[in-house]
Amino acid sequence: MQHLEHSKADTSKPFFEYLLRLGDDRLILGHRMSEWCGYGPQLEEDLAMANIALDLIGQAKALLEYAGEVEGEGRSEDDLAYFRDDIDFRNLQLAEQPNGDFGFTIARQFLFSTFNELLLERLQDHPDRQLAGIASKSLKETRYHVRHSRDWVLRLGDGTDESNQRIQQAFDDLWMYTAELFYMDEVDEILIKDGKVPDLKELQPEWNERVNQTLKEATLQRPDDDQYMATGGRVGFHQEELGYLLMEMQFLRRSHPEAEW
């Protein structure tokens, strides 16, 4: 990754990168959730997951629109969403994981939403009023995402033998992507030094506490932290599944690049 020189007067480049990461997380996870539309286990859940997808994509739109303004090169939120290749995306690898079964989707959403709630609580006090406003609005939605996913973790974990085994397997399979939630590099270091973003390591103890408590209540075991942990999404390294997702998501817009919608 290209070295980013720290400058008190100009942190626009790392701030753009930071906004891009926030926006990409929500865009990709929102698209994954939208894939459940029409396939939910019951009508109420079909609607709930569609609404969560809309929330996430709405958050992504606001963040990517602002990222384009900060970049200052005339790119809109649509340009950033539809005309970048997978190597240019900065989302967590957790967000791009294919849906699997319902339990896998719920576990993925719970792990991300619990982190997202903690992050947004800090960002709503951000010195940049526009980001603070986006965070404040997003936090209200995210608290619902946490409640919804947590309720299902408890229901599946403390349900039948099969539901317990499935949700446990989902957490076991997803755990290798959780370390990246707290990944930081030069982008974060520059912005933390200027007092513009929270130190993600400070969020980790509370995230652990909330996740541990939920797993305990759900009669589930916390997976082993001493295992291979995947990283790389923040700097453009992704699994092949993201390429397939982007091909589906971007096909229409790239097929008609000059169209006005």
Q: In this predicted model, what pLDDT tens digit does every residue of 211-248 receive, in sequence order? A: 999 999 999 999 999 999 999 999 999 999 999 999 99
Any domain includes 7: no
Any domain includes 4: no
Any domain includes 2: no
Q: In the chain, pLDDT over 70 holds for what percent of residues?
A: 95
Any domain includes 129: yes
Are 242 and 28 in contact by the 8 Å Cβ rule? The answer is yes
Any domain includes 95: yes
Residue ranges making up the domain that contains 242: 12-221+229-255
Are 255 and 204 in contact by the 8 Å Cβ rule? The answer is no
d(CA 25, CA 233): 10
Q: In this predicted model, what pLDDT tens digit does every residue of 67-102 receive, in sequence order? A: 999 999 999 999 999 999 999 999 999 999 999 999
Any domain includes 22: yes
Any domain includes 6: no
Alpha helices in the chain (DSSP H): 12-34, 43-71, 77-82, 93-96, 102-123, 129-157, 161-174, 186-193, 204-217, 240-255
Q: What is the CATH number of the domain that holds 20?
A: 1.20.1260.10
Any domain includes 125: yes
What is the C-alpha R_g of the chain? Answer: 18
Mean pLDDT, the chain, rounded, equals 94
pLDDT band per the 50, 70, 90 thresholds, residue 163 = very high
When divided into structural domains, the chain yields a total of 1
pLDDT band per the 50, 70, 90 thresholds, residue 261 = low
d(CA 78, CA 98): 23
pLDDT at 11: 66
